[in-house]
A and B are shown apart, each in its own frame.
Chain A
Amino acid sequence: MHKEVNSVGLTQTKYFTIEDKIVLESGVEFGPIQVAYETYGTLNDNKDNAILLLHALTGDAHAAGYHNEEDKKPGWWDDMVGPGKAFDTDKYFVISSNMLGGCSGTTGPCSINPQTGKPYGLDFPVITIEDAVKVQKKLVEFLGVKKLIVAGGSMGGMQALEWSIANADMVDAVIIIASTSRLTAQGIAFNAVGRNAILSDPNFNNGDYYDKEKQPEKGLAIARMVGHITYLCEESMHNKFGRRFQYSDKPNFDFNIDFQVESYLAHQGQVFVDRFDANSYLYITKAVDYFDLAQKHGSLKEAFSKTNARFLVMSFTSDWLFPTSQSKEIVQALIKAGRDVSFCEIESPCGHDAFLLEFETQTKIVKSFLAKGENNG
């Protein structure tokens, strides 16, 4: 049994189904949609102490605690979620759900299409961050929440921004970590390489591979390897691996895994294949690429003029995938729109991954930011 004092303990993924079709940003009507979610803490009588956590590219609903007593690893944001932690489950009702298009319980391309009795594959409609938020809104309403705080890192931050604009009357506060209002061309380029790796895998079979003997594992693994390069930075790679060899102290003079960094990437790719679906990777990276608040609302200032929340924005010095300059763009637009905003660039050598690692500094900042709302509320 995991008995850490500040753990939420054993948790369970639950499911909720939206029976009616929803209209996606593309205009396509889609449904039914099942949503996988977890909750920690208790919703108060006013139904206004909720925090919705929004996961990054490949996350899932399991943000904190353990699923069973043998579980080795807790949920993806366990460092930040629990009694007395940044997202304090003694005070807040914390909700986390798997994103639309994902492969961890929420309807996605690997789900069964009720019309054909087979997985959707590429018949799954193209989805956007806006669509993901629409689905989360249904979940939150189903849970009875009236007011909430939204928080997320990376792609989760994009969803949090979308929440603050699309559901301005519900959102009191927004926490945006290592995120952006639109990906750079460089970011899109890396996602494109990942998608190309999947699409050109001979086992991809136009997305129809679920009942086949061979899966597009190579392509998905390469996509993940590319992704991992973007989550680190030169300094963190140097610190972790340097130029060290994996198996000996001299080169092997062949094309097998020789360097430690190669071994690391291969391992990350392999582990990923076991937990993620290639089609989901295509759909979700595309949703990230399409996200562009300025384009959608005329300007970022215009977009944020529609919000009613206070904002906390954090970035990390060594993050070149979601660089500080992009967080500053958000902050400046929020100031222009007259919104209450705090911003901190946290010193870290961990690259984009810092948002999942540098939890001590983030805890200090998030706690104080949330406490301000508690005093005023």
Chain B
Amino acid sequence: MDKIQDSLHLNYSVITENIEQGAKVLDLGCGSGELLKMLVDKKHCTGCGIDINQNNVIESIQKGLSVVQGDIDEGLKEFLDDEYDYVILNQTLQSTEKPDYVIEEMLRVGKKVVVSFPNFGYWRVRFYLFFKGRMPKSKMLPFSWYDTPNIHLLTIEDFSDFCKERNIKIKKSVYIKRGQISKNPFNRILTNFLCEEALFIIER
């Protein structure tokens, strides 16, 4: 579990580093509000979070954050176009019901969008399925096939294709390899093989 925590914290600091001081952010699937709190404390960001879980919402409110309980699959109808500098979807894309709709909504509401997800093209995941013949489990994907919230798993290549098809610009990509930021992502095919996690900053 510690590895997951480490990787989450790495994740948070990567996101925090890439967001400007005082930006207005919307954190979708904000969990207990750790990232949002970090953004408020370190970057003096304003904004709010959305999470579907009551306890997460309470914990976030207890951190002094403004959080709304809701289901991001229902869309962001109440939010205006370009209302936020950043809309963040951290480690949640693969568990949304309509990932394409959610991304479109994020691009509408945010000037920039931060998306991160576990890479299903990671070599360990591939080997797991190839050699064990069972749905891959790992520290980032700890669930069984029947109880996993991750219903739309994807690879780095999948996401790149998606952006291309929809004319979405990838402004920045960060790949995480064995808990570290991958220093020189050689080519994408290799990156897709070697990195367990990816983070993109995209815009339209």
Q: Chain A interface (Cβ within 8 Å of chain B)?
A: 310, 312, 328, 331-333, 335-336, 338, 340-347, 361, 364-365, 368-369, 371-372, 375
Contacts and interface: CB of A to CB of B under 8 A. Distances in A.
B68 interface: yes
A17 B67 CA distance: 41
Contact of B61 (A332, A338, A369): A369
Contacts of A340: 48, 66
Contacts of A345: 54, 69
Contact of A364 (B58, B63, B78): B58
B69 A344 contact: yes
Interface of A is mostly: helix
Contact of A336 (B58, B63, B78): B78
B64 A342 contact: no
B69 A365 contact: no
19 contacts: A328-B70, A331-B68, A332-B78, A335-B68, A335-B79, A336-B79, A342-B65, A342-B66, A342-B68, A343-B57, A343-B69, A343-B70, A344-B58, A361-B58, A364-B62, A368-B63, A368-B64, A372-B64, A375-B64
Given A332-B78, A335-B78, A346 B64 contact: no
B52 to A, nearest CB: 10
B183 interface: no
A-B pairs, top 3 by smallest CB distance, nearest first, are: A332-B78, A335-B78, A368-B62
Interface residues of B, number: 19
Given A338-B80, A342-B66, A364-B58, 19 more contacts: A310-B66, A336-B80, A338-B83, A341-B48, A341-B66, A341-B68, A342-B48, A342-B57, A342-B61, A342-B65, A342-B67, A344-B54, A344-B69, A345-B54, A364-B62, A365-B58, A368-B61, A371-B64, A372-B64
Nearest to A317: B54
Contacts of A310: 66
B58 to A, nearest CB: 6
B77 interface: yes
Contacts of B64: 368, 371-372, 375
B62 A344 contact: no
A346 B57 CA distance: 10
A333 B77 CA distance: 10
A343 B68 contact: yes
Contacts of A364: 58, 62
